[in-house]
Amino acid sequence: MNARLIKETRALLPIFACMLPLIVVPQLVWPMAGFGFFAFAVACVLMAGSSFGTEFQHRTISLLLSQPIPRSVIWRDKMLVLGAGMVTCLVALVGCLVASASGNDHAEWLVLVLVPLCAFCGTPFWTLVLRQGIAGMVAAVGAPCGMLATYAIMTEHLGDEKPAEAVAAIVVLLLIYCALVCWLGYAKFGRLEAVDIPTTELRLPAGLEAILVAPLAKVSSRFRGPFATLLKKEFRLQQTGFLLAGVFILVAVTGFCIAKRYPEVATGVVGGDIFLYALILPLVLGAISVAEERGWGISEWHLTLPPSSLKQWSAKMLATLSTSLVLGFLLPVAVFVVAEPLFNPPGARTLSPPAFEIPSWVLGQMLVTSVAVYAASFSRNTLHAILAALFTLIAGGGVLLLAAYWVNHIARAPILWMAQPGLDVWPFLLTLSGALALALCFFQGFAWSNFPRCGLTALRLVVQFAVLLLSVGVLAWVLISALTPPNLGLE
């Protein structure tokens, strides 16, 4: 294998090694949930975005373009390694489907072809256009989804269409899109000019930044002092969260506008918008808070500033957690409250959670953000931090399932007994809130212990990860034991 292929393989290897178990294990253990399909789609988008996104993030794009090698050869090597990674993940998922005797639906096999094809063709193009890895991934997901939503609106407006004809039209539309963006991406790379300036993985466009930041700069100029300066720096670092919030609101408003005329399409648009936004935002905000400065190589320099590392960490967490709480929890709740009357008939049962469950939801939001912060404390860039956070969350979910199985198997009692009428829910909610708060403290404590250290050994990270999973398992055991009614023990 030549040096170029080895270099491209090393760039995608962390994502491949992390996502492959997330595709295989859930699909074998719980095939009906369809989590393997979701993990496969995420893996395709992450690998495709990293192929060119890491060059911009590490500012090696100028070195790549200045090599005495034709651009076509460089493009071929990158796409060859990317295609090999996607095909390997696809083969693993197909093997799981065959082993579990699932996947008989033709739509599933169609998804297995179209998803990697759209990611393979579209993500490099959007990454080269935006010159940012994560932004390219978001655009690569949003473009086909927007096309499908537009097609659904046009189909519903023009009249009924047979399912077979609709599927054929969608396939043709996506194939045309893939061919177009693949050709445009190759052409864009062929005439790409070298850029070697510091850049973030996610940032506002220059014009939009000037419009939005200027008024805030005038207001923030009144607040001075070391801690206020740190806060302003951290909030500026989190400006990407406000950009994602603006896109979220724009898509939600679009769904509201078409709700009366195209209710089914609007429900899919708003529901998918809330789901993706609530999933992505806390991971992005938590990862950016620490990993972005590590990627710039200035995190060690910040530790030499007069404010102590504790003050810097306090300012960082105050900005990160407050932004995540406002944009990642309060904003989706507000959109959900506005959307529910539009999509539910009058007098229908509300889907909003009761008020006494709000503290648990808030703690859960802060816990997900803290997991991303912990992952960023040992990652060198935002993408790897998001990937590590996702892996940690899924590993924690696996520990929860093991604890639930163990308790239920020992006690031989239904775990969801709280759904029975007439039972007091306050003990469970207090226990849940306490477990979430303790888990939050564990992740924050380990993230803080990693923050002032320039280098972290693999042994230290393995011990931390093991302790965190053990703590989650113990907390889950206590929580699920509280769900088991005392009068339904072993007989």
Cα–Cα separations (whole angstroms), residue 301 to 239, 293, 311, 384:
22, 10, 15, 22
Residue 222 has what pLDDT? Answer: 62
Between 429 and 449, name the one with better pLDDT: 449
**pLDDT band, residue 443 (cuts 50/70/90):** very high
Over residues 166-179, the mean pLDDT reads 86
Whole-model pTM?
0.78
Residue 338 has what pLDDT? Answer: 79
Residue 489 has what pLDDT? Answer: 42
CA dihedral 88, 89, 94, 96 (to 10 degrees): 120
Tell whether the model's pLDDT for residue 491 goes beyond 50: no
Residue 487 has what pLDDT? Answer: 45
Tell whether the model's pLDDT for residue 340 goes beyond 50: yes
Tell me the torsion sign for CA atoms 89, 91, 96, 102: positive
Tell whether the model's pLDDT for residue 202 goes beyond 70: no
Residue 322 has what pLDDT? Answer: 92
**pLDDT band, residue 325 (cuts 50/70/90):** very high
How do residues 21-67 score in pLDDT, each as one tens digit? 888 877 777 766 567 788 888 889 889 988 888 888 777 888 888 88
Between 329 and 132, name the one with better pLDDT: 329
How do residues 273-316 score in pLDDT, each as one tens digit? 888 888 888 998 998 888 888 777 777 777 777 788 888 899 89
Residue 210 has what pLDDT? Answer: 56
What ranges in 258-308 are assigned the alpha helix state H? 263-296, 299-302
Over residues 186-196, the mean pLDDT reads 79
Tell whether the model's pLDDT for residue 408 goes beyond 70: no
**pLDDT band, residue 192 (cuts 50/70/90):** confident
Residue 79 has what pLDDT? Answer: 92
Rounded-to-integer distance, Cα 442 and Cα 471, Å: 8
The DSSP symbol for 357 reads: G
Left, alpha or beta for 457 (phi > 0: left; psi -120 to 50: alpha)? beta
Tell whether the model's pLDDT for residue 448 goes beyond 70: yes
How do residues 114-141 score in pLDDT, each as one tens digit? 889 999 999 999 999 888 887 888 888 8
How do residues 69-122 score in pLDDT, each as one tens digit? 888 899 999 999 999 999 999 998 888 888 776 655 566 777 788 889 999 999
**pLDDT band, residue 318 (cuts 50/70/90):** very high
Rounded-to-integer distance, Cα 323 and Cα 388, Å: 21
Other CB atoms closer than 10 Å to residue 98's CB: what's the count?
A: 10
Residue 350 has what pLDDT? Answer: 54
Token digits of residue 131: 């010159």
Over residues 310-330, the mean pLDDT reads 90
Residue 410 has what pLDDT? Answer: 55
Left, alpha or beta for 346 (phi > 0: left; psi -120 to 50: alpha)? beta
Please work out, in degrees rounded to the nearest 5, the angle formed at the alpha carbon of residue 353 by the alpha carbons of 476 and 437. 35
Half-sphere exposure of 331 (CA within 13 A, CB side): 24
SS3 61: helix
Residue 225 has what pLDDT? Answer: 72
Rounded-to-integer distance, Cα 323 and Cα 317, Å: 10
How do residues 214-247 score in pLDDT, each as one tens digit? 555 565 566 667 778 888 888 888 888 888 888 8
Range in 2-16, 338-352, 446-460 the model is least confident about? 338-352
Q: Are residues 49 and 123 in contact, defined by beta-carbon separation less than 8 angstroms?
A: yes
Q: Are residues 365 and 278 in contact, defined by beta-carbon separation less than 8 angstroms?
A: no
Over residues 324-345, the mean pLDDT reads 81
Mean of all residue pLDDT scores within the chain: 79
Between 425 and 486, name the one with better pLDDT: 425
Cα–Cα separations (whole angstroms), residue 467 to 21, 77, 396, 460:
21, 41, 12, 11
Domain boundaries, the chain: 1-199, 218-352, 363-491
**pLDDT band, residue 427 (cuts 50/70/90):** low
Q: Give the burial string for 45-78 (b: 16+ CB within 10 Å, else e).
A: bbbbbbbbbbbbbeeebeebbeeeeeeeebbebb
Tell me the torsion sign for CA atoms 401, 403, 406, 409: negative
The DSSP symbol for 417 reads: G
Residue 35 has what pLDDT? Answer: 77
Rounded-to-integer distance, Cα 27 and Cα 98, Å: 11
Q: What is the DSSP secondary-structure string of 177-238?
A: HHHHHHHHHHHHHHTPPP--S---SS---HHHHHHHHHHHHHHHTT--SHHHHHHHHHHHHT
Please work out, in degrees rounded to the nearest 5, the angle formed at the alpha carbon of residue 387 by the alpha carbons of 385 and 393. 100
Q: Are residues 43 and 16 in contact, defined by beta-carbon separation less than 8 angstroms?
A: yes
Over residues 355-383, the mean pLDDT reads 85
Q: Give the burial string for 441-464 (b: 16+ CB within 10 Å, else e).
A: ebbbebbbebbeeeeeeeeeeeeb
